[in-house]
Amino acid sequence: MEECYPEVLYFYCNTEVFHNIIANKKLWLSDISKSNDALEQKYFAKLIIDNYDRIMCDIFNNHFDEREDDGVYEYLTKELVLDIVDHLAAKTWAMCFSEKADDLGQWRGYGDDGFGMCIGFDFNYLFTVRGVKLNNCNGSDNYDFISLEKIRYGIEGYEELLSHTKDLQFENMDVEKEELKSILTHNKARDFIDVVLNSTIFPIYKSKEFSEEAEWRIYYSSYIRKPVVDVNTINSISFGFSNNFIFDGIHYEAKRDRLVSHLELTIKHIQKAVREIYIGPKSRISKRDLMEFLTYFGFDEPITKEIVKKSALSYR
Domain boundaries along the sequence of the chain: 8-310
- Report pLDDT for 37: 61
Using an 8 Å Cβ cutoff, are 1 and 7 in contact?
no
Report the 10 Å Cβ neighbour count for 53: 12
Q: Could you tell me which of 160, 187, 156 has the C-alpha nearest to residue 79?
A: 187
- Report pLDDT for 129: 85
Using an 8 Å Cβ cutoff, are 280 and 117 in contact?
yes
Q: Is 190 helix (H, G, I), strand (E, B) or coil?
A: helix
- Report pLDDT for 170: 42
Q: What is the dihedral of CA 118, 120, 125, 129, to 10 degrees?
A: 40
pLDDT tens, the chain, 316 aa long? 457 899 999 999 999 999 999 999 999 999 887 776 656 666 666 666 666 666 666 655 544 554 455 455 555 565 666 665 565 556 789 999 999 999 999 999 999 999 999 999 999 999 988 876 665 544 555 567 788 989 888 766 556 655 555 544 444 434 444 554 454 544 555 555 555 555 456 677 777 888 899 999 999 887 654 444 555 555 555 454 568 888 888 889 898 888 888 999 999 999 999 999 999 999 999 999 999 999 999 999 999 999 999 999 987 7
Question: In sequence order, what are the residues at sequence separation of 6 or more whose Cβ sits closer than 8 angstroms to the Cβ of residue 121?
Answer: 8, 9, 10, 11, 97, 273, 274, 275
Question: In sequence order, what are the residues at sequence separation of 6 or more whose Cβ sits closer than 8 angstroms to the Cβ of residue 158?
Answer: 47, 51
Backbone angles phi, psi at 235, to 5 degrees: -70, -15
Pairing of strands 152-153, 205-206: parallel
Q: Could you tell me which of 147, 115, 35, 76 has the C-alpha nearest to residue 278?
A: 115
Question: In sequence order, what are the residues at sequence separation of 6 or more whose Cβ sits closer than 8 angstroms to the Cβ of residue 178?
Answer: none
- Report pLDDT for 203: 76
Question: In sequence order, what are the residues at sequence separation of 6 or more whose Cβ sits closer than 8 angstroms to the Cβ of residue 57?
Answer: 64
- Report pLDDT for 122: 97
Using an 8 Å Cβ cutoff, are 18 and 119 in contact?
yes
